[in-house]
Structure 1
């Protein structure tokens, strides 16, 4: 009888664990993490460090010897562990899509071709089952981004522990996403259709130019009626929004950047950037950062080095280009973001350069570097504690994580299922 009661209680508890954990309450007492190796997120490493934070903000980050007195702090000993900034995943549909095969769970795309007025943040689902599995590997912030069409809409930077999208948003409408039309590269097989493809691309560019021209005129107009589509582009000229230019070919990137500059866009970011290593002089001259995608992939062309995608971060680092890394596979795989950086270490980057590419650099590119991205005084206490190397899948083990000083629950559905069946089979031994 006692065994049956235990099993029943265990199954009930598993059902509870399988739900998305409730968001953590606000920090009420100062916290002092002491004894760990601190990886600041800007290339700096401090051995035997301490990090203190209060009311969600970091008040100290440096050697233990200079740390504030422990009086009044909730002191947490983390010796032999590592403290990292919370990792940031840019250009993702996390929170916007749940199950790819179920249309009702996907809210990442709007109908139409030119949708600058679409806002991803209002569709962001804080109850997604995927989010807890992502933050369990140290990813605590994402750039929720719409897809589809030529202009997909506006992305927003969201944190992964909140009751609703209003609580989750860290930076609303940080930029518009433009999918630059691909230049046709015909083969003999599709030669008869080349003229049609070229004409369609030409028409798309004309429509895009007309939209920017109309939006510029709308911005300057004094007496104007409400037009959400045109008003959404205003931030591009004011510098309050970035233009995220999705392109992989060298010609497409150059063409897209020149289009943006000609139309008065203040800040442009390349997303994708497969051929960015070929045009580093151009990118430096124009001050264009890159969000690199497709690091774990085969090369796009048979003439490319077989390991070219793995080497791209190192090539951009050598050229002095500001870049960040983006995991662009299946949504549940976004927890592998730190391991993408780990691959870049195997192909030339130092560990701290790779960490910066998924923390400090990403924060700079998204325009949130004053709030987060590094473990420094005055910034949000959004950080991760791991007992091993966060970038190595063999030792990565996040023991605790904080978002704006709130210690978040690292339980997720997969951990609950693991524990459930582990107990089941151990009981049968």
Structure 2
């Protein structure tokens, strides 16, 4: 009977923790993690390592034998575990939508085709029930990206622990997202009116895009009498302060979109999606185009492709010397699987440290935040995770600690609450 009441008390306490955890307080004393295997994020692995950080910044990362003395530090023994940089998920609507069937919770797109003035970060919901489930697997930063239309708007890089969107910003308005209109292919022997109309609409859309970019370039150089929010939002593309993320998969679409951006004077171009990137690596390398690769867990794109082509595409890009990062963007809740698509790439050619780089430092370089995050080095943000096992393996990924800018996160979430809730229910039934 005592056991029954104890379980009921546990259940009541779990109900109190079912909400999204409050953001962690600022780091108030130096912390020293010792004894773990350190994965720096740049390919370096240090056994029996130590990481020290204070006021949100890393002050030491290296061998435990050379670590600063523990006087004044909160010393945490993590012997036998692994320390990794916080993982970075690019190109996601996480934080912009919550419940697919409830329109009021969906803030990922605006009406219309051309919306460069849309800013995703102002719609970012720090109270989302989904965010804690993502960081529990090691993902601590997001590139929050609008969708819909041809130019969907501007993304921003956010972290997953904050009271509001202003506190969550890591890099505001990092780039504009252009969803390239795909080439159309006639599958019948003779041209149909519907195909002709679709082709005409595509050509008009490309003409409108070209006109818009030329107007934006002229607007940047002029002194307009009144504000134009759409043209103002595009200005950063021409001086390199903002990236243009081209969303395209087909090889011909990729080449066409890149040449369009270059012709219009865009300084920094990033390919997003990139299913066929492996087919045109020479073109990408010659034009210095980095890739955010989606669809590692996907079926082959063409009937003649290898069945494991999507799995080994990261290795093909690695061999070709392309700067690329991985994105898990096919499912809102699936973002928690970001480390596991990197693990899939390990099974198809990459080393574990190369795979780790695709979801840490490579992505940080592409997004322009590598001076802050991406590796565990002195002077960078103390944004890191501690795992009991290999972070890239779903069988051993067990995050025991996580820090964002030195603030230790509470790693509870709704799914863990539900697990404990029904575990307590059945234990209570067995105790009768």
The two structures have a TM-score, normalised by structure 1, of 0.98
How far apart are the structure 2 equivalents of 1:175 and 1:189? 42
Shift of 1:8: 5.9
| Partner Cα separation in structure 1 for residue 322 and residue 228 of structure 2 | 37
| Corresponding residue of 2:80 | 80
Question: After the TM superposition, which residues 81-230 of structure 1 pair with which residues of structure 2 at under 5 Å, given as runs?
Answer: 81-188=81-188, 191-192=191-192, 193-230=194-231
| Separation of aligned partners in 2, 1:363 and 1:190 | 48
CA distance in 2, matches of 1:158, 1:152: 18
* Alpha-carbon distance, 1:4 to partner: 8.2
Matched, 1:279 2:280: yes
1:410 and 2:411 equivalent? Answer: yes
| Deviations 1:177-209, CA, capped at 9 Å, x for gaps | 000010012212995122112111101100101
CA RMSD for the aligned pairs? Answer: 1.4
Give aligned pairs, total: 429
Q: Tell me, yes or no, if structure 1 residue 337 matches structure 2 residue 318.
A: no
Shift of 1:12: 3.5
Secondary structure (helix, strand or coil) at the match of 1:374 reads: coil
SS of residue paired to 1:232: helix
Q: Match for residue 368 of structure 1?
A: 369
Structure 1 residues not aligned, in runs of 5+: none
SS at match of 2:303: coil
Contact 1:218 1:224 in 2 (8 A): no
SS in 1 for 2:186: coil
Deviation at 1:2, TM superposition (A): 7.1
Deviation per CA, 1:91-144, whole angstroms, max 9, x where unpaired? Answer: 000000111122111100001111000000000000000000000000000000
Secondary structure at the aligned position of 1:279 is classed as: helix
| 2:358 aligned partner | 357
Within 2, Cα distance between the matches of 1:373 and 1:191?
Answer: 51
Q: 1:236-280, CA deviations, whole angstroms, 9 ceiling, x for partnerless residues?
A: 111110000000011111111111111111100000001111111
Separation of aligned partners in 1, 2:157 and 2:224: 33
The verdict on how the C-alpha distance between 1:189 and 1:45 changes in structure 2, with shifts beyond 3 A counting, is farther
- Cα pair 2:10 2:424 within 8 Å, conserved: no
Alpha-carbon distance in structure 2 between the residues aligned to 1:204 and 1:150: 9
- The aligned residue for residue 65 of structure 2 is 65
CA distance in 1 between counterparts of 2:357 and 2:254 reads: 24
Question: How far apart, CA to CA, are the structure 1 residues paired with 2:66 and 2:10?
Answer: 46
Change in CA separation of 1:7 and 1:348 when aligned onto 2, cut-off 3 Å = closer
Which aligned runs of 4 or more in structure 1 are off by greater than 6 angstroms?
1-5
Alignment partners' CA distance in 2, 1:106 and 1:227: 27
* 8 Å CA contact retained: 2:324, 2:363: yes
Q: In 1, are the aligned partners of 2:4 and 2:428 still within 8 Å (CA)? A: no
**How far apart are 1:3 and its partner, in Å?**
7.5
Separation (CA, whole Å) in 1 of partners of 2:274 and 2:91: 13
- Please list every run of 5 or more consecutive structure 2 residues that lacks an aligned counterpart in the other structure: none
> What's 2:294 paired with?
293
Residues 3, 308 of structure 1: alpha-carbon distance in 2 compared, 3 angstrom cutoff: closer
Determine the C-alpha separation between the residues in 1 that align with 2:175 and 2:187: 36
1:393-412 Cα distance to aligned partner (Å, 9 max, x none): 00110000000000001000
C-alpha displacement at 1:6, in angstroms?
Answer: 5.1
CA distance in 2: counterparts of 1:334 and 1:189, whole angstroms: 43
CA distance in 2, matches of 1:149, 1:225: 26
Partners of 1:186 and 1:13 in 2: CA distance: 62
Aligned to 1:393: 394
Query: Which residue is equivalent to 1:348?
Result: 349
1:251 and 2:252 matched = yes
**Would the alpha carbon gap of residues 389 and 189 (structure 1) be closer, same or farther in structure 2, given more than 3 Å must change?**
farther
In 1, are the aligned partners of 2:387 and 2:401 still within 8 Å (CA)? yes
For residue 45 of structure 1, what is the aligned residue in structure 2?
45
Task: Determine if contact 2:373/2:383 at 8 Å carries over to the other structure.
Answer: yes
TM-score scaled to structure 2, two decimals?
0.97
Partner of 1:12: 12
Are the counterparts in 1 of residues 389 and 396 from structure 2 also a CA contact under 8 Å?
yes
Distance 1:181 1:384 in 2: 39
1:14, distance to aligned residue in structure 2 (A): 2.3
